[in-house]
Homo-oligomer: A and B are copies of this chain.
Amino acid sequence: MRVGLDVGGTKTDAVAVSSSGEIVGRVRLVTGWGSDAVVSTVLGAVAALEREAGIARGAISSIGVGIPGQIEPGSSRVLHAVNLGVAALDLAAAVEPQLGVPVRVENDVKAAALGAAALRTHTLNGTSSMAFLNLGTGVAAGIVAGGELWRGARGTAGEVGHISIDPNGPECRCGQRGCIEALAGGAAVAERWGRPGALPVRDVFDAADAGDARAIALRAGIAHGIAAAVRVLVLTADVDAVVLGGGLTALGERLADEVGRELRSRAAASAFMRSLRIEERFELLPAGSPAAALGAAIVGATRDPEGVLAHG
- Taking Cβ atoms with an 8 Å cutoff, the residues of A that contact B are 127-129, 141, 143, 145, 150-160, 162-168, 172, 174-176, 224, 228, 231-240, 266, 269-273, 276
Give the most central of A141, A165, A272: most B CB within 10 Å. A272
* Cα A226 to Cα B3 with chains together (Å): 45
CB distance from A301 to the nearest CB of B (A): 22
Q: A234 to chain B: which residues have CB within 8 Å? A: 156
Q: Which of B151, B236, B276 contacts A236 (CB 8 A)?
A: B236
* Cα A159 to Cα B152 with chains together (Å): 18
What residue in chain B is nearest A172 (Cβ atoms)? Answer: B270
Are the C-beta atoms of A129 and B153 separated by less than 8 Å?
yes
Are the C-beta atoms of B273 and A163 separated by less than 8 Å?
no
What residue in chain B is nearest A151 (Cβ atoms)? Answer: B238
| Copies of this chain, count | 2
CB distance from A69 to the nearest CB of B (A): 15
CB distance from A266 to the nearest CB of B (A): 6
CB distance from A277 to the nearest CB of B (A): 9
Q: A231 to chain B: which residues have CB within 8 Å? A: 163-164
Q: A164-B228, A232-B232 are in contact. Are A176 and B273 (CB under 8 A)?
A: yes
Q: A228 to chain B: which residues have CB within 8 Å? A: 163-164
Are the C-beta atoms of B273 and A162 separated by less than 8 Å?
yes
Are the C-beta atoms of B153 and A240 separated by less than 8 Å?
yes
Are the C-beta atoms of B238 and A236 separated by less than 8 Å?
no
Are the C-beta atoms of B162 and A165 separated by less than 8 Å?
no
Are the C-beta atoms of A166 and B167 separated by less than 8 Å?
yes
